[in-house]
Amino acid sequence: MARRDVVAVDAPVSGGTGGAAKGTLAIMVACPADALAVVEPLLAHLGRVFHVGTEPGLGQAMKLVNNYLSAAALATTSEAMVLGTKAGLDPRTMIDVLNAGSGRSSATQDKFPRSVLPRTFDHGFATGLMEKDLRLFAEEAAGLEVPLRVGSAVRQMWQQASSELGPASDFTSIVRLVEGWAGVEVRDDSGGSAG
């Protein structure tokens, strides 16, 4: 490619369809600095550009790291919220407390208030896509000889969610898996918005 004056630019994104529509995506770019100077003004219209390295593939690696943490946060928040609900805590109050405390994550700040508590499950990312990203993360970890003790459990939970809820289900639906096991539903019946 270099002999033909072609440069590969690796630029996966995070932020979903909402981020794309608003121009607030996180864009993880891997390419030489001179190529970045050419593509950054174009990519900046879609969101914030992060230069993560010069080698193609580093953008994808960053995307896998990001989605692994997102998947883990959503899975563990689902378990925590189901436990709290079954114990008698109000889901909306739990979200408020978590977001003011050390339990805060993208799952508590955005996904649960917007898509789980109102029971819309319409955040815009498919369960099957998250399962695929976790498979790719596990393959990358194996290739780099990084053990995934927690990651193995997270991946198993997403595999089961995809199998039981369907790969096309919204990824916020993973809470339904835990709700089914526990026999309780996490919802905001107050008519207010969490946050």
Residues known to be catalytic: 63
Token pair in block for residue 46: 């879609």
Which parts of 15-124 fold into alpha helices (H)? Answer: 16-22, 33-43, 58-87, 91-100, 106
Residue 49: φ, ψ to 5° = -95, 130
* 58 exposure class (CB count in 10 Å sphere: 0-12, 13-18, 19+): middle
Q: H or E stretch including 52?
A: strand 47-53
Distances (CA, A) of 57 to 28, 43, 53, 60: 10, 18, 9, 5
